[in-house]
Structure 1
Amino acid sequence: MFNGALTALVTPFRDGEVDAPALRELIEWQIQSGIDGLVPCGSTGESATLTHSEHDNVVKLTIEQVRKRVPVIAGTGSNSTAEAIRLTAAAREMGADGALLLSPYYNKPTQDGIFRHYKMIAASVDLPLFVYNIPGRTASNIAPETFARLSEIKNIVGVKEASGSMDQSSDILKLCGDRLAIFSGDDGLTLPLIALGAKGVISTSGNVIPREMHDLAAVALGGDFPKAREIHYRLIPLMRALFVETNPIPVKQALAFMGKCANELRMPLVPMTAGPAEKLRIVMKELRLV
């Protein structure tokens, strides 16, 4: 059920509010472009500055618009275990196909604390769960040995691995085997991680190039690595340009260039600076996106 390229959706805003029409149109374009799944309310969706009501509404809107055409994995992470359980239970009631939960940030639990956090959520909510490891945002790394422990829990089914470390990813794949579906959390590592046995990518770039990210994952998963390398090298300049400033600042700018949503973020995030924005536009022009 879970494989290929899944887009970590932005949350469009207009005049300080969630832009529901723009989000619906973005979702529809994603599906028509062949994307393999959608992930609302993750880091790219600015979940940290959504109110609880907005968070629930964005998940609900996404599920309603998708209408079971592709899997919806709702972002439901929190550094409070009780809050993560509430968000995950709400996503299950709305009809989400799974939940993505980042490792607790700021309070920096030990590896045993991280394990118990996920174990408690899994015991509380009967829903396929994905563990999201992104040390650059959480200030702690989930060790491969902790993933091995987590893989023994029935409804923990996958990992979004965004440490940027091929060594770490290799160790997770070796220790967990088929018990966890590993997804790249770094767009530029999609191809090498699939070559090692990953099932796909949860992608920021997918907001801008859903068809191309689907094709990259599908071709690599099908074993045509020469073709996959061709796609990888064609897309890598855009993947890099979309991360020259904090995600999702560049991807919001890119979508604004394409007329998909307003270039509006929630404070303390601010729009992209002029120089990098122009370089992004040039890269997009080379790919005929603008």
Structure 2
Amino acid sequence: MAHLPEDFGGIVPPLSTPFTPSFEVDVASLERLIEFQLAAGVHGIFVLGSTGEAAFLTDQQRATVIEVAVRTVGGQVPVLAGIFDMTTARVVEHAQTARRLGADALVLTAPFYTRISQSEISEHFWLVHVAVDLPLFAYDIPSAVSTKIARETMLRLAEDGVIRGIKDSSGDEANFRALLLALGGRADFSLFTGSELLVDAALLFGANGCVPGLGNIDPAGYMRLYQAAQAGDWQLARREQERLFRLFDIVSVGLPRMGIGSSAMGGFKTALKLRGVIATNITGRPSIQLNAEEVERVRQALITANLL
């Protein structure tokens, strides 16, 4: 089923991609993870994002993830698919695959590795927009792609109808608030924060929703936060946010033994395994895996958060 512009909002977790011991997509675990999210009432599913370790997947594995997501969701909520890559040609290929497999919207960053200008970023978005007739969401994550999508670029792309929304993971909360002031309130445009830790504040400022990696583990908690904000109960929203804030410490259990990405994805997948949602906590190669002591720290965090 087609989803209307107003359907893109609320809590849209960026799903982890479960792996088998042979580093293939664990389809059964991915199905359980999606069903776990739907049971919590989330408003959408985002696959192949940073939390989904899209950078570690082959093209065929990316296609498998989208196919499983679309089939399992069955039109209940929108399925957003990440299509980022190094060049426009590669991104257009990913976009066409996602469209063929039934994704409802596409999420793309600026191209990475190559050093490009803001005009080239605009050209990149325009070319994908022309190539594939699906809503595009701009994903601003300069820590991963080394280039920030400037506010002026975002505003121009929005005004021209090239993008239908923004996922802001830049860490620049003042810039995000400026985007909310300029674009908030439009029925045909959605602004999401990618911060797990400031959702209550973002919603208070007028954000349409959140794309929280931690929502993999506790989608019900983010739903309670969102519903409290919608009801104007900001004290309840704050309490839920503070509980989730403390739980977010699981992203650092592997530091400094491993990189922050390996530690965060390992923490998320370990928590999902401990909660009985996925079968392994294996992260994509060449990531280092969590050891027994680090796994125990995740377990204790889940107990403290009343999730075990």
Unmatched segments (≥5 aa) in structure 1: none
What is the aligned partner in structure 2 of residue 183 from structure 1? 192
1:100 counterpart SS class: strand
* Alpha-carbon distance between aligned partners in 2 of 1:57 and 1:207, rounded to the nearest angstrom: 19
Range with bigger deviation, 257-266 or 273-282:
273-282
Q: Which of 215, 227, 249 does residue 240 from structure 1 map onto? A: 249
Q: CA deviation at 1:175?
A: 2.9
Pairing 1:181-220 to 2, within 5 Å after superposition? 181-220=190-229
RMSD value over aligned CA atoms?
A: 1.6
- Counting matched residue pairs gives 290
* Alpha-carbon distance between aligned partners in 1 of 2:28 and 2:250, rounded to the nearest angstrom: 27
Q: CA deviation at 1:123?
A: 1.4
TM-score, normalised via structure 2 length: 0.89
Q: CA deviation at 1:285?
A: 0.5
In the alignment, residue 217 of structure 2 is paired with which amino acid?
V
1:188 counterpart SS class: coil
* Alpha-carbon distance between aligned partners in 2 of 1:275 and 1:162, rounded to the nearest angstrom: 30
Match status 1:11 vs 2:28: no
Q: Which of 145, 168, 182 does residue 175 from structure 2 map onto? A: 168
Q: CA deviation at 1:177?
A: 3.4
* Alpha-carbon distance between aligned partners in 1 of 2:218 and 2:78, rounded to the nearest angstrom: 18
What is the aligned partner in structure 2 of residue 259 from structure 1? 276
Unmatched segments (≥5 aa) in structure 2: 1-6, 254-259
In the alignment, residue 166 of structure 1 is paired with which amino acid?
E
Which protein has the bigger strand share?
Answer: 1
2:11 counterpart SS class: strand
What is the aligned partner in structure 2 of residue 250 from structure 1? 267
Range with bigger deviation, 103-112 or 57-66:
103-112
Say whether the 8 Å CA contact 1:133–1:160 is kept in structure 2: yes
1:174 counterpart SS class: helix
* Alpha-carbon distance between aligned partners in 1 of 2:35 and 2:168, rounded to the nearest angstrom: 27
Say whether the 8 Å CA contact 2:250–2:268 is kept in structure 1: no
Q: CA deviation at 1:259?
A: 2.5
Say whether the 8 Å CA contact 2:125–2:162 is kept in structure 1: no
What is the aligned partner in structure 2 of residue 73 from structure 1? 80
What is the aligned partner in structure 2 of residue 114 from structure 1? 121
Distance change >3 Å, CA 243–CA 40, structure 1 → 2? farther
Match status 1:283 vs 2:301: yes
Distance change >3 Å, CA 283–CA 131, structure 1 → 2? same
Say whether the 8 Å CA contact 2:138–2:167 is kept in structure 1: yes
Say whether the 8 Å CA contact 1:37–1:71 is kept in structure 2: yes
- Identical-pair percentage: 33
Say whether the 8 Å CA contact 1:40–1:73 is kept in structure 2: yes
In the alignment, residue 289 of structure 1 is paired with which amino acid?
L
TM-score, normalised via structure 1 length: 0.95
Q: CA deviation at 1:280?
A: 2.6
Q: CA deviation at 1:112?
A: 1.1
* Alpha-carbon distance between aligned partners in 1 of 2:195 and 2:292, rounded to the nearest angstrom: 25
Distance change >3 Å, CA 91–CA 223, structure 1 → 2? same
Range with bigger deviation, 72-81 or 270-279:
270-279
Q: CA deviation at 1:155?
A: 4.8
